[in-house]
């Protein structure tokens, strides 16, 4: 059989014997794909259409044993390696050109223990998989806001969403992981076993190995929650955001309200003449009992004169998927992010000014309110350090035509630069694009400890297709 061209871990081209690939395939429950395999292009497709990379091999793992085989094969043959869970990462770090892709997307199991209030979850599972299984018992894990996001990437970077103010980050609710390290060894990490590794995977991304199972703590949520949207006209946006800021400072942990500056989608509860016009959207969520929620959200409803409101009881799983139509795969996406301890008047003015020049009807600036339980954890308790972040901004540039790349990217960078003087200097690693060199900003005071941990668990930097932490010298 013909040899295939591969990319090595030191970014050189080399040939790999097809006999070795056949031997690997025979040792797996899963399958091996090459660029000539019919399913190759479908499997390598990921959420962000800006990322178009062609791995030399795709190993579709069926379980932990396959992951161990794949890691050892990559190590023994000196191959560049990337790891895919849900394929939702904005930077496209689940793909590598010419190397080996370890694909976990088929490992989607979710096992819920309702008595112990825990869930054991596979690395290919999506948020929707875990939400649906846990909600059968009125339980949930704090996750993100798009149901097609992968559990693995979200968790390893931190994870925040509608339940974060009440129950903390996703990593704050992680009890243990099963992980295959750079030697191909299977390890379990928790507070009681390989505790140093457990510290690192809670926010350290995929730098330390391939997680083959997550165990989470579950909390009582729903199944009915109070949630919805309040949409305000853009005129007076600055004053509205100041009132939003002041209200957020007094909000109970059960209440989460974010602010989004964008063009109005064609929502049926908005007058048609406002569709496609700039608006301020306030997504509102209450984690407690619905009847208590109505009292809690009343101050938000009284912030101004909205154009429309769609707020009421709904299934938690429906709210978790409410923004999926705005975040479908196949569009081009570029993000810029900052953390803030507060929303200064000058910052609000700059964000409003930039929102007047949205370059596409899919672009937006969202400001998520964190605080609450997420900020009551010490910054050095785990790899994720940003416990001073009261608000997180994501400048979400999104468009369809590659000809608009320069315009949309330039707009996102301009918003970021305008907001920089007001930011903490920290960055949420899951929002970092591929062109950003902000790894130290992502890990802040924990960076040096992470680099030392990398030296212990991945001294050759096998897992380098990520926002990489190089092993300490």
Check whether residue 255 and residue 369 sit in a common domain: yes
Q: What is the mean pLDDT of residues 238-251?
A: 97
Q: Are residues 91 and 15 in the same domain?
A: yes
The CATH number of whichever domain residue 170 belongs to comes to: 3.30.465.10
**Which pLDDT tens digit goes with each residue over 299-357?**
999 999 999 999 999 999 999 999 999 999 999 999 999 999 999 999 999 999 999 99
What's the pLDDT score for residue 1? 56
Does residue 65 form part of some domain? yes
Mean pLDDT over the full length of the chain: 97
Whether residue 451 is contained in a domain is answered as no
Q: What is the CATH number of the domain that holds 248?
A: 3.40.462.20
Residue 56, in any domain of the structure: yes
Model confidence over 430-473: pLDDT tens digits?
A: 999 988 889 999 999 999 999 999 999 999 999 999 999 999 99
Looking at the structure, tell me whether residues 79 and 156 fall in a common domain.
no
pLDDT at 102: 98
Contact 98, 80 (CB under 8 A): yes
Residue 306, SS3 per DSSP? coil
- Evaluate whether residue 472 is within a structural domain: no
List beta partners, residue 58: 33, 101
Which whole number is the average pLDDT over 54-72?
Answer: 98
Measured CA angle at 393 (ends 320, 395), to 5 deg: 90
The mean per-residue pLDDT over the stretch 96-107 comes to 97
Find out whether 283 and 258 touch, Cβ atoms under 8 Å.
Answer: yes
Give φ, ψ of 458 to 5 degrees: -150, 65
- Whole-number pLDDT of residue 437: 86
Is 350 in the same domain as 367? yes
Q: Tens digit of pLDDT for each residue in 379-437? A: 999 999 999 999 999 999 999 999 999 999 999 999 999 999 999 999 999 999 988 88
pTM (global) more than 0.85: yes
- Domain boundary among the residues 53, 83, 103 is at 103
Same domain as 164, residue 250: no
C-alpha pair distances (Å), 313 with each of 51, 285, 300, 317, 319:
38, 10, 16, 12, 10
Q: For residue 146, is pLDDT > 60?
A: yes
Cβ–Cβ under 8 Å, residues 16 and 6: yes
pLDDT greater than 80 at residue 210: yes
Residues 174 and 243 placed together within one structural domain of the fold: no
Whether 465 maps to a domain, the answer reads no
Beta pairing partners, 394: 337, 366
**8 lies in the same domain as 124:** no
* Overall number of domains in the chain: 3
What per-residue confidence (pLDDT) applies to 2? 74
Same structural domain, 325 and 259: yes
446 lies in a domain? no
Domain that holds residue 67: 4-103
| Contact (Cβ atoms closer than 8 angstroms) between residue 220 and residue 138 | yes
- Identify whether 441 is part of a domain: no
């Amino acid at each position: 059989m013909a040899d295939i061209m591969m990319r090595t871990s030191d970014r050189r081209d080399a040939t790999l014997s097809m006999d070795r690939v056949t031997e690997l395939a025979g040792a797996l429950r899963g399958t091996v794909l090459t660029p000539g395999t019919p399913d190759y292009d479908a499997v390598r497709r990921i959420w962000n259409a800006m990322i178009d990379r062609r791995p030399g091999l795709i190993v579709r793992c069926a379980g932990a044993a396959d992951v161990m085989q794949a890691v050892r094969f990559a190590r023994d043959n000196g191959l560049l390696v990337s790891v895919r869970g849900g394929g939702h990462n904005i930077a496209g770090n689940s793909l590598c050109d010419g190397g080996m892709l370890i694909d976990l997307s088929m490992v989607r199991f979710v096992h819920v223990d309702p008595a112990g209030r825990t869930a054991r979850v596979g690395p290919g599972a999506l948020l929707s998989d875990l939400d649906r299984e846990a909600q059968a018992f009125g339980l949930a894990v704090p996750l993100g806001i798009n149901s097609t996001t992968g559990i693995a990437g979200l968790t390893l970077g931190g994870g925040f969403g509608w339940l974060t103010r009440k129950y903390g980050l996703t990593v704050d609710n992680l009890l243990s992981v099963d992980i295959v390290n750079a030697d191909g060894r299977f390890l379990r990490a928790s507070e009681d076993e390989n505790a140093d590794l457990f510290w690192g995977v809670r926010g350290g991304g995929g730098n330390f190995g391939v997680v083959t199972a997550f165990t989470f703590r579950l909390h009582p949520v729903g199944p009915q929650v109070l949630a919805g949207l309040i949409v305000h006209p853009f005129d007076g946006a600055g004053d509205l955001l100041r009132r939003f800021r002041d209200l957020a400072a007094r909000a109970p942990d059960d209440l989460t309200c974010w602010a989004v500056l964008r063009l109005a989608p064609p929502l049926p509860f908005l007058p048609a003449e406002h569709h496609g016009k700039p608006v301020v959207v306030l997504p509102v969520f209450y984690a407690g009992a619905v009847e208590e929620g109505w009292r809690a959200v009343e101050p938000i409803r009284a912030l101004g004169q909205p154009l429309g409101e769609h707020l009421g009881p709904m299934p938690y799983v429906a709210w978790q998927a409410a923004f999926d139509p705005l975040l479908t795969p196949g569009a081009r996406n570029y993000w810029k992010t900052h953390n803030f301890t507060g929303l200064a008047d000058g910052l609000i003015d700059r964000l409003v000014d930039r929102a007047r020049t949205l370059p596409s009807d899919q672009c937006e600036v969202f400001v998520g309110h964190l605080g609450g339980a997420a900020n009551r954890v010490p910054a050095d308790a785990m790899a994720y350090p940003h416990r001073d972040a009261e608000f997180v901004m994501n400048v979400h540039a999104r468009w369809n035509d590659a000809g608009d790349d320069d315009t949309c990217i330039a707009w996102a960078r301009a918003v970021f630069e305008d907001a920089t003087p007001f930011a903490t200097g920290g960055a949420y690693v899951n929002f970092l694009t591929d062109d950003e060199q902000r790894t130290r900003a992502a890990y802040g005071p924990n960076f040096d400890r992470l680099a030392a941990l990398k030296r212990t668990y991945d001294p050759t930097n096998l897992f380098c297709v990520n926002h990489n932490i190089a092993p300490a010298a």
